[in-house]
Amino acid sequence: MLDIRVKRLASLLVNYCLDVKPNENILITGSVASAQLIQEVYREVLKKGAFPRTKVTLPSLEKIFLDEASMEQLKYLSSIDKYEVENSDGFINILSTDNTKSLSNVDSSKIAILTKSRDPLKKIILQKDRWVLTLFPTLAYAQDAEMSLDEFEDFVYNGCYVNKEDPIAYWKKLHDEQQRLIDYLKGKERVRIIGEDTDITFSIKDRVFINSDGHRNMPSGEIFTGPQEDSVNGFIRFSYPVCTQGKEIEDIRLKFKDGKVVEAKASKNEDFLRNMLEIDEGAKRIGEFGIGTNFGIKKFIKNILFDEKIGGTIHLALGSSYPETGGKVISALHWDMIKDLRSGGKVIVDDEIIMQDGKLKFIT
pLDDT tens for residues 106-154? 888 898 899 999 999 999 998 898 999 999 999 999 998 999 999 999 9
pLDDT of residue 289: 98
In which order are the strands placed within the sheet that holds 190-195? 260-265, 253-257, 233-237, 198-203, 190-195, 346-349, 352-356, 359-360
Nearest Cα residue to 336 out of 359, 302, 363: 302
pLDDT at 363: 85
Q: By percentage, how much of the chain surpasses pLDDT 70?
A: 100
* 117 vs 262: CA distance, rounded Å: 26
Q: Which pLDDT value is given to residue 27?
A: 98
Residue of 254, 314, 308 lying closest to 285 (CA atoms): 254
Q: What is the pLDDT of residue 267?
A: 96
Per-residue confidence (pLDDT) for residue 292, from 0 to 100: 96
> What domains does the chain contain, in order, with CATH numbers?
4-165 (3.40.1830.10), 168-360 (no CATH)
* CA 231 – CA 201 distance, rounded (Å): 8
Question: Taking the complete model, does pTM exceed 0.85, yes or no?
Answer: no
Phi, psi of 58 (to 5 degrees): -95, 130
- So what's the pLDDT on residue 290? 97
pLDDT in tens, the chain (364 residues): 789 999 999 999 999 999 999 999 999 999 999 999 999 999 999 999 999 999 999 988 999 999 999 999 999 999 999 999 999 999 999 999 998 888 888 888 898 899 999 999 999 998 898 999 999 999 999 998 999 999 999 999 999 999 988 999 999 999 999 999 999 999 999 999 999 999 999 999 999 999 999 999 999 999 999 999 999 999 999 999 998 877 899 999 999 999 999 999 999 999 999 999 999 999 999 999 999 999 989 899 988 899 999 999 999 999 999 999 999 999 989 999 999 999 999 999 999 999 999 999 888 7
pLDDT at 246: 75
